[in-house]
A and B are shown apart, each in its own frame.
Chain A
C-alpha cells in the first residue's frame, strides 16, 4: 500500500482521477482543505471591498487624497512618504517568514522552536495592529478623517480606509489569538499526542493569507 506512489496519475489525468474516484477529492488533511476553502471565501470578501473602492474612486468628482502625503511621517525635519505603512509592510513580511519557519520546524517535531517562532509571529502581529491603531488615531484626531468626510478631498476616502484596513486589522487580531492558542498547544504536547503537526500548517495558511491581503491593500490603497 505504501509503495504505490508510482501509480498515482499526475497532471490533468490526476485531476480526473481525484475528482471522479469514490473517495475524498483532495488527499490532504481535512482541516487544510477547509482552511483553503475558507480563505477562498475570504478572498471574495476582500475583493468586494477593493472592487467597491475602485468603483467609488472612479466615480467621485472630487480629487482623491494622495495617500503618499496623507500617510507621510515627519522624521528628522523631512516628510518621508508612506514611512509607517512601509514599516508595517516589513513587519508583516517578517511575521510571514517566522510563520513559514514555524511550520517547517513543526514537521521536524521540534516543539520549542516551533512554539517560539509562532509566538514571535504573534508578537509581530501585535506590533502591526499597534502601528495601525497609531495610524488610525493620527488620522482621526490630527487630520480629522471621518467615514463620511475628510479635509483632504473625496469623502469616500475615509469610509474605504476604515472599512478595508479595519477589516484587515480584525483579521490580524484574530490571527494573533489563533496563533497563540496553537502555539500553547504545541508547547503542552497536544499535537505530539495527536501524532501530527498539520494544525500548525493550517494556522500558517491563515497567517500567510493575512499577509497576502496586505500585499493587495498596500498596492491598491496606499500606492495607487
Chain B
C-alpha cells in the first residue's frame, strides 16, 4: 500500500523536473534579475553615503539576506524543490550559527587578553 503512494512520486517528479524550465515564464527570471540589481545598488549606496553604526550593519545584513534568498529560491530553483531536499540543504548550515557564536566569544577573549598583556 505504502509503495503505491510513494513510488509514483519518483516518476511524476522526474516529469516535473524535466518540464520545470518550460513551466516558469521568463518574466520571473527577468524580474528577479532586476530586483537583484536594485538591491545591490542599495547595498552599494550604504557605503556611498557612508552610513555608520547599527543602521549600516542592519542594512548590510538585510540587503545581503534578500539577495541570497532570491538567488537560492528562484535562480537555483529551490522554491520548486520538494521539502525533503530543501531541508537537507538548508538546515545543516544553521550549525554555523554555533561556530559563529563560539568564535565571537573566542575573538573577544583574545582581544581582551591582548589588551591586558600587550598594551602598556
Contact = CB atoms under 8 A, between A and B. Distances in A.
Contacts of B81: 28
A68 B46 CA distance: 11
Contacts of B19: 107
B93 A23 contact: no
Contacts of B43: 218-219, 223
B9 A208 contact: no
A61 B10 contact: no
Contacts of B79: none
How extensive is the interface on chain A, given as a class?
35 or more
Please report whether the interface of chain B is mostly helix, strand, loop or mixed according to DSSP: helix
A97 interface: yes
Interface of B: 2-22, 24, 26, 29-30, 32-33, 36-37, 40, 43-44, 46-48, 50, 56-57, 60-61, 63-64, 67-68, 71-72, 74-77, 81-85, 87-89, 92-93, 96, 99-100, 103-104, 106-108, 110-111, 114-115, 118-119
14 contacts: A1-B8, A15-B84, A21-B9, A24-B10, A81-B50, A96-B33, A104-B24, A105-B21, A209-B76, A212-B71, A212-B76, A219-B60, A222-B47, A223-B60
Contact of B83 (A1, A10, A204): A10
